[in-house]
């Protein structure tokens, strides 16, 4: 009797699992990340504001239920592989969980009709398979319309210092204008190489003094020795020895620090160099510029002139010489460029989107999109173009793009690490059973690159390294339903919605025991002393872990 009952229960569970998988496949199609405020596709009898509030709540619930469904299926399949000390109790427990998940998925599916939440048509967004690799990545050094700005900056670098040992020259402008690209043009100019003995580029968004010194040392030396275990005083000594009495040129890119005391701390270290040393700072903040500048006025970068924007658009939207065959598209393209308000990133991103689609109606669709209306504010010039480009991604690329925000800004993505990251979380889809997941991931990586969602490409052996513009990173982060969390020394709590943890530096974890069991990803970017016990504690609680990255971790052992 006991055996028959157990068999019946397990049959019902298998039936429930099949039902969940079918419901999951249907409901999961709704779980495409949308930008904040991106509810324009929701229609129905309810008002717009009600729909917006409802969608926000619904989307959070949807993601939680889908994650729970995957966890239950994993737990069931794992339990089927291994014997249980009490199979009847396990069957009852799984039956109860499956029943709960099925009811939640049923409820979500019922809302599809209420708000007309049908799967979106991806046909017009698909990437043609014949897209040539030679057009996948635009050379970052091929920058249009900044020659005059480059000459102006170089003149400032050549100018003798006016009563100060080190000149600090800020370049200020809104995001997407090309401040970083301009800095690199200056950095690589032959005249600058002759003037300065040392040249460094350092991205410094967080402006943590220890991390910043490490970055400067890494940029200033030809070897990548890990110095994260050194104290600040040791790093300072090494930096002073490296600078000596040499004339140097340092770029601090994308600075947000508005604390003058922290800048004074760094400045004290950098005055060691010879007279005539220069620091070039890029920032969007006028306050940052005023705190750091030693010149009378920061260099304010303006938008590109319309003719230069058109030239950039033409270069990115057409193969060489192809534009002559599409006079109507050139006219529509000119109107699209006007909406980009002189912001090169907006122009390039949209042009890359249109490169493989020469359908005139599609170009008009982009030109006339309602999303342009969200960019009325001065600081939102770039947002409509980025959202438009995101909205036109196929669903499978939207998820991969959103997951890129797991890593911090200015992170150097590499194809050999990013593709397994997508793979571990089930983001790679195939309709061809003979196609390897690695090949699918490489195709996704190429598609995002060809649409200008990545930049600064470098080849290394058979892999590609690249970065993501910080505005695109902001957009990607807004899509992730608070699933990602970066754990620092002051972190005492993680949200129930968090599924992916990044540890820039290892920290003690006892206070983070809550909700650790639901984490899918744990990436440790740095090793610190006394971290083995914390790692063991962390791993013992990660029940549904799908990806563990210890590449930067000096591992003695790993608990079983």
Q: Which domains does the chain have, with CATH numbers?
A: 2-120 (no CATH), 124-141+304-391 (no CATH), 147-300 (3.40.50.300), 395-477 (1.10.10.10), 484-549 (no CATH)
pLDDT digits (tens, 9 = 90+) for 302-314: 999 999 999 999 9
Share of the chain above pLDDT 90, in %: 29
Distance CA 87, CA 74 (A): 17
Q: What is the pLDDT of residue 130?
A: 35
Q: Note the pLDDT tens digit of each residue in 99-154.
A: 777 777 677 666 665 655 555 555 444 443 333 333 334 354 468 999 999 999 99
Tens digit of each residue's pLDDT (9 = 90 or more) over 214-255: 888 877 765 556 666 677 788 888 888 888 888 889 999 988
pLDDT band at 505 (very low <50, low <70, confident <90, very high): low
Considering only 209-218, 330-339, 422-431, which range has the smallest mean pLDDT?
209-218
- Model-level pTM greater than 0.85? no
**Is 276 in contact with 197 (CB distance < 8 Å)?**
no
Residue 78 has a pLDDT of 64
Q: How far apart are the first and last CA of the chain?
A: 38
pLDDT of residue 137: 42
Chain centroid to Cα 465, Å, comes to: 14
CA–CA distance, 341 with 347 (Å, rounded to integer): 9
**CB 532, CB 551: distance < 8 Å:** no
Whether the predicted pLDDT of 294 surpasses 50: yes
Per-residue HEC secondary structure of 258-313 comes to CCHHHHHHHHHHHCCCCCCEEEEEEECCHHHHHHHCCCCCCEECCCCCHHHHHHHH
Instruction: Please report the pLDDT score of residue 494 as a whole number.
Output: 76
Question: How high is the mean pLDDT of the chain?
Answer: 77
pLDDT at 378 over 70: no
pLDDT for the residue 257: 85
Reported as a pLDDT band with limits 50, 70 and 90, residue 532 is low
- The answer to whether 351 and 317 are in contact (CB under 8 A) is yes
**Could you read off the pLDDT of 37-80 as tens digits, one per residue?**
444 444 444 444 455 444 555 566 666 666 676 676 666 666 65
| CB-based contact 470:454 (threshold 8 Å) | no
**For 503-524, what is the mean pLDDT?**
69
Reference 499, options 523, 488, 478, 483; nearest CA is 483
pLDDT of residue 1: 43
pLDDT number for residue 292: 92
| Top-confidence residue, 384 or 61 | 384
Written as six digits, the tokens of 57 are 């709540």
CA 245 to chain centre: 39
Question: What pLDDT is recorded for position 157?
Answer: 93
pLDDT higher at 465 or 212: 465
- In the prediction, which pLDDT does 517 show? 74
Confidence class of residue 352 from pLDDT cuts 50, 70 and 90? very high
Average pLDDT over residues 296-301: 92
Q: What percent of the chain has pLDDT over 70?
A: 67
pLDDT in the model for residue 152: 96
- Spatial distance between the Cα atoms of 192 and 480, rounded to a whole number of angstroms: 42
Residue 355 has pLDDT above 70, yes or no: yes
If you search the block for the tokens 């040393």, which residue do you land on?
A: 277
The position carrying tokens 């970083």 is: 180
Which tens digits make up the pLDDT trace of 95-110?
Answer: 777 777 777 767 766 6
Averaged over 321-326, what is the pLDDT?
A: 93
Asked whether the beta carbons of 104 and 536 are under 8 A apart, the reply is no
pLDDT at residue 296, as a whole number: 86
pLDDT at 464 over 50: yes
Q: What is the mean pLDDT of residues 194-202?
A: 81
Angle of helix 344-354 relative to helix 327-339, nearest 10 degrees, comes to 150
Residue range 336-362: average pLDDT? Answer: 93
What number is the average pLDDT over the span 166-188? Answer: 91
The per-residue pLDDT for 371 is: 82
User: Mean of the pLDDT values across residues 197-211?
Assistant: 75
* Sign of the C-alpha dihedral computed for residues 29, 30, 36 and 40 taken in this order: positive
Residue keyed to tokens 């989107």: 353
């Amino acid at each position: 009797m006991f055996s028959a009952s157990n068999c019946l229960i397990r049959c019902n569970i298998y039936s429930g699992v099949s039902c969940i998988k079918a419901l999951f496949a249907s409901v999961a199609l709704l779980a495409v990340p949308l930008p904040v405020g991106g509810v324009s596709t929701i229609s129905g009898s309810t008002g717009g504001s009600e729909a917006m509030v409802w969608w926000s709540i619904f989307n959070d619930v949807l993601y939680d239920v889908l994650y729970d469904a995957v966890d239950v299926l994993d737990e069931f399949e794992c339990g089927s592989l291994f014997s249980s000390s009490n199979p009847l109790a396990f069957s009852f427990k799984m039956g109860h969980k499956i029943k709960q998940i099925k009811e939640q998925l049923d409820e979500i599916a019922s809302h599809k009709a209420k708000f007309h939440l049908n799967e979106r048509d991806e046909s017009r967004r698909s990437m043609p398979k014949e897209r040539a690799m030679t057009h996948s990545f635009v050379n970052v050094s091929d920058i249009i319309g900044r020659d005059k700005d480059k000459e102006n900056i170089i003149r400032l670098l050549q100018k003798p210092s006016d009563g100060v040992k080190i000149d600090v020259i800020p370049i200020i402008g809104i995001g997407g204008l090309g401040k970083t690209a301009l800095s690199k043009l200056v950095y690589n100019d032959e005249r600058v190489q002759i003037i300065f003995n040392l040249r460094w580029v350092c991205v410094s968004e967080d402006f943590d003094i220890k991390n910043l010194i490490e970055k400067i040392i890494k940029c200033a030396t030809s070897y990548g020795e890990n110095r994260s275990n050194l104290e600040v005083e040791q790093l300072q000594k090494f930096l002073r020895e490296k600078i000596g009495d040499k004339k140097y040129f340092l770029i601090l890119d994308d600075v947000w620090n508005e604390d003058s005391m922290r800048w004074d701390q760094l400045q004290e270290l950098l005055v060691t160099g010879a007279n005539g040393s220069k620091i070039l700072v890029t920032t969007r903040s006028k306050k940052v510029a005023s705190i750091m500048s030693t010149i009378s006025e920061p260099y304010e970068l303006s938008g590109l002139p319309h003719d230069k924007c058109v030239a950039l658009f033409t270069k990115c939207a057409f193969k060489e010489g192809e534009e002559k065959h599409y006079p109507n598209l050139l006219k529509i393209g000119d109107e699209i460029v006007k909406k980009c308000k002189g912001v090169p990133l907006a122009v390039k991103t949209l042009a890359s989107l249109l490169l493989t689609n020469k359908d005139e109606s599609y170009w008009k669709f982009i030109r006339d999109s309602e999303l342009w209306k969200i960019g009325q504010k001065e600081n939102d010039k770039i947002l409509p173009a980025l959202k438009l480009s995101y909205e036109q991604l196929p669903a499978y690329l939207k998820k991969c793009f959103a997951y890129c925000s797991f890593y911090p800004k200015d992170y150097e993505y590499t194809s050999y690490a990013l593709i397994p990251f997508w793979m571990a979380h089930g983001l790679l889809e195939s309709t061809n059973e003979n196609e390897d997941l690695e090949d699918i991931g490489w195709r996704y990586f190429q598609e995002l690159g060809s649409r200008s969602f990545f930049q600064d490409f470098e080849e290394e052996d058979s892999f590609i390294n690249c970065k993501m513009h910080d505005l695109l990173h902001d957009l990607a982060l807004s899509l992730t339903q608070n699933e990602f969390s970066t754990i620092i020394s002051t972190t005492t709590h993680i949200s129930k919605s968090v599924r992916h943890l990044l540890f820039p530096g290892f920290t003690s974890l006892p206070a983070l025991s809550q909700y650790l069991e639901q984490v899918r990803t744990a990436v440790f970017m740095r090793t610190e002393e006394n971290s083995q016990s914390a790692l063991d504690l962390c791993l013992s609680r990660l029940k549904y872990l799908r990806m563990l990255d210890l590449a930067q971790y000096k591992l003695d052992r790993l608990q079983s």
